[in-house]
Amino acid sequence: MSRPVILCVDDERIILSSLKSQLMNNLGDTYQIELAESGEEALEILEELTESRTEVPLVIADQIMGGMYGDELLARIKTLLPNTHGIMLTGQATAESVGEAVNKASLFRYISKPWDEEDLVLTIKTGLRSYYDQKELRRQACYQSIIHKVLQLVITNVSFEEQLSQALSAILSTGCFSVSAKGSIYTVDLEQADLEWSTKDPDLVMISQVNQGEAPESNVSDGEVGQDVTLITSSPSVRYYRAPITLQGKSVGILYIYIDETHDETPQVKAFLSSVCHTLAGMIRISQYNRALEKHSLNLEQLVEKRTHELHQALRKQEQLNDIFLDVNKKLNYFATTDELTKLMNRRCFFERADAEASRARRYGRKALLAILDVDFFKEVNDKFGHQVGDTVLEKVAHVIVETIREHDVIGRIGGEEFALLMPETDVDEGKEICERVRLAISSNTVVVGDHCISISVSMGLSEVKDEESTISGAMIRADQALYDSKHKGRNLISYN
């Protein structure tokens, strides 16, 4: 069986080569690394992998590519392979494109270019672990659902033969058996079996079958079937599980499930078949003791109710864990990127976004301006009215800034009373005009505390991100000096450096 595939998509060959080299060094023993230079090529590769039933746990895609963009590709992959995780790898993605990828493609992570190899590998390993954890949860949920269906058959008002037929169909509908969808059930002849269970091994007769072309090669009536589920390969093309159905230590039936060459033998599959056989044995017991059904109905109903309740509890717990997992992820992402007081970007998130915008501006030869805002006399407000009033002032300032700036401007709180504003695709004159609007809007607001009305103003330092700069570090130094000039000249001013 071929190894799972990690697909990397980027229209720059040097990026693909770097990705493949790093992934091969860290994951090459376990995964195949496939490369595509466009979204269209990636979809063709995925179609071939799907036809060959090759697993694709992870797709890493660039955002800005010729033809199909990364967010569109990941959304289409989500439709084609709903369980595959997507990672966007780019230095140019806008908030809208990332949002599209998150909403339409359930984006697992976003990694900025250039990346750190250790961080990249850690993120990919985390994604793979998440993929297989979710796969295991789905498999367990499927097993529990099938067992629940079989349990429900026990209490249906149909014949014993029909119960087994429906149970076999349900078992074969699981993902690991659905490819072959072939099996049979042999049980004791209920009309001739001794109610007290004969000391000799009973003959077994076929009760139900699905797509069963021929009987298994082993003698189903030889009384030598063990107590464990066994995988048997009678020929290169014939493989099947033989699962004993036992009751009170006696063999009362055998379940045969045929599999194809792609099937992997796991303890979970054997445990599932063992649980199914335990339930089938309950069917046999009920059918054989139908003359005593009225006497024992209460006990049997309680047993079925208990098992059904346990299954429902397990499913509810799993749903709760899934909800908790999603909620925790949302909260972690929120706290990692958001300033709790002002609800603006925090320092780390602002610098990541601002550096990405600066890199984009350099790549496309566009202007970008950075402004640093500092609330005037903020320490005096805290000293005179307390930190709670100071927090109110900061919230008011943040709100006014957000209401005044443009939608594509990037705003964040980078310190106690300091805010930073990045204005993409903006020249100096436009930037000064925007900053002046912000300054006037803030100075026209007040915060009322009891009988006191606190005036608010900010001093601002403005600097342009130079053409050769791909980060905002240099502009930060210049803007900070300009801010100092504004403070020195009397505050409530805008200075440019």
Could you report the per-residue pLDDT of 27-38, keeping only the tens digit for each?
A: 989 999 999 999
At 208 the three-state DSSP class reads strand
Q: Could you give the strand order of the β-sheet that contains 109-111, starting from the edge strand earlier in sequence?
A: 32-36, 5-9, 58-61, 85-89, 109-111
Domains contained in the chain, CATH given = 5-119 (3.40.50.2300), 156-288 (3.30.450.40), 347-496 (3.30.70.270)
What value does the mean pLDDT take over residues 253-264? 83
**Given this model, what pLDDT does residue 9 score?**
94
* Cβ-proximal residues to 461 (8 Å cutoff; 6+ apart), any chain: 371, 372, 478, 479, 480, 481, 482, 483, 484, 485, 486, 494, 495, 496, 497
Assign 199 a pLDDT band (cuts: 50, 70, 90). very low
Place of tokens 């595959």: 84
Of the candidates 278, 290, 272, the one whose C-alpha atom is nearest the C-alpha of residue 248 is: 278
Rounded mean pLDDT of 12-18? 92
Q: In the chain, what percentage of residues exceed pLDDT 90?
A: 46
Task: Indicate the pLDDT class of residue 100, thresholds 50, 70 and 90.
Answer: low
Contacts of 385 (CB under 8 A, 6+ apart): 449, 452, 454
Check: pTM over 0.85? Answer yes or no.
no
Residue 101: band (very low, low, confident or very high) from pLDDT cuts 50, 70, 90:
low
How many residues belong to the chain? 497
User: Letter for the amino acid at 270?
Assistant: K
User: For 322-347, what is each residue's pLDDT tens digit?
Assistant: 888 787 778 888 888 999 999 999 99
Cα 394-395-399 angle, rounded to 5 deg:
115
- Residue-wise pLDDT for 435-457, tens only, equals 999 999 999 999 998 888 999 99
When pLDDT is averaged across residues 181-190 and rounded to a whole number, the result is 81
Give pLDDT, residue 94.
Answer: 65
Cis link prior to 114 (omega < 30° from 0)?
yes
Q: HSE on the CB side for 355, CA within 13 Å?
A: 14
Model confidence band, residue 482 (pLDDT cutoffs 50, 70, 90): very high
Backbone angles phi, psi at 247, to 5 degrees: -145, 120
β 418-424/446-449 pair status: unpaired
Buried/exposed 139-177: b ≥16 CB within 10 Å, e otherwise: beeebbebbbbbbebbeeeeebeebbbbbbebbbebebb
Question: pLDDT at residue 352 above 90?
Answer: yes
